[in-house]
Amino acid sequence: MKNLKRNLIVSACIALSIFGFVEPAAAQDRPRVATTVSSRPINQPPAAPATTQPSSTTRTVSQRPTLTNEINVAPPASLVKKTADIKPLNVGAIVARRSIYTTVVTNNMMGAIQKRLGIPYLYGSEGPNRYDCSGFVWAVFGDAGMKFDRTSARSLWEMSVPVEGEERYRFGTLVFMNKLGHMGIVADENGFYHASSSKGITYSPFKGYWEKRIVGFRRLVVPSTETAPAAAPAEEAKAAK
């Protein structure tokens, strides 16, 4: 009887040992189920899908139409302003304007002035490559057929007669300046031709620098049938009848 109980106990121990060995192995083969726990409350709406931000290196290609017109580039405007003008302000009006001399003399004077524009100044010179103020006047009148001895501006003042009013601004009138130290030939009411120490033979406006330096206006008297002063408009009309 005792042996039977002993055998049963031994069998039971062996069975427990075998069961204890098999159970862990079987547990290793059992699939594991992982439960995902959301940190988002269950009463919130679903999250919006994430938007993809464009890369900073992505360039947007503009679908602009292809330019077919010819491109004309205008030349740049000049940045240098012309400061010296060797022509009268109302170009072309001098010839049409009444002169104190005949048409022939007036045209000859105009030609003599135009061909000398721009020639440099030199004190005491009478041309042809340099002129001072009185030398220029002497050369112009000489080309127009009015001959007289080369002299100074002061001497020409003394050998000419004064003019007043509108006569002062008729082409061919002499204008004296700087206490008779300078002179020129009137172009019109706006300016005169002269030999400038800085610009040579040029046209200068009265307004500004020169108007404050004018001494007077005079007409040169040179005896000559060819250079007789032009008749006044009333006398010309009377002669035409």
SS3 214: strand
Let me know: does 185 contact 113? Beta carbons within 8 Å: yes
The contacts of residue 213 (CB under 8 Å, 6+ apart) are 177, 178, 182
What CATH code is assigned to 93-222? 3.90.1720.10
Closest CA relative to residue 157, chosen from 133, 138, 135, 183 = 183
Q: How confident is the model at residue 36 (pLDDT cuts 50, 70, 90)?
A: low
Q: What is the DSSP letter of 19?
A: H
Instruction: Report whether pLDDT(238) > 80.
Output: no
Is this prediction's pTM over 0.85? Answer: no
CA distance 109 to 102: 11
Q: Which residue has the higher pLDDT, 153 or 45?
A: 153
Q: What angle do CA 18, 23, 26 make, to 5 degrees?
A: 125
Give mean pLDDT, residues 92-118: 82
* Predicted pLDDT at 232: 44
E-strand stretches of 110-236: 160-162, 174-177, 182-186, 191-196, 200-205, 214-220
Bridge partners, residue 156, by sequence: none
Q: How confident is the model at residue 98 (pLDDT cuts 50, 70, 90)?
A: confident
pLDDT of 136-155, one tens digit each?
999 999 999 998 889 999 99
Give mean pLDDT, residues 75-97: 46
* Predicted pLDDT at 22: 46
pLDDT of 189-223, one tens digit each?
999 999 999 999 999 999 999 999 999 999 988 76
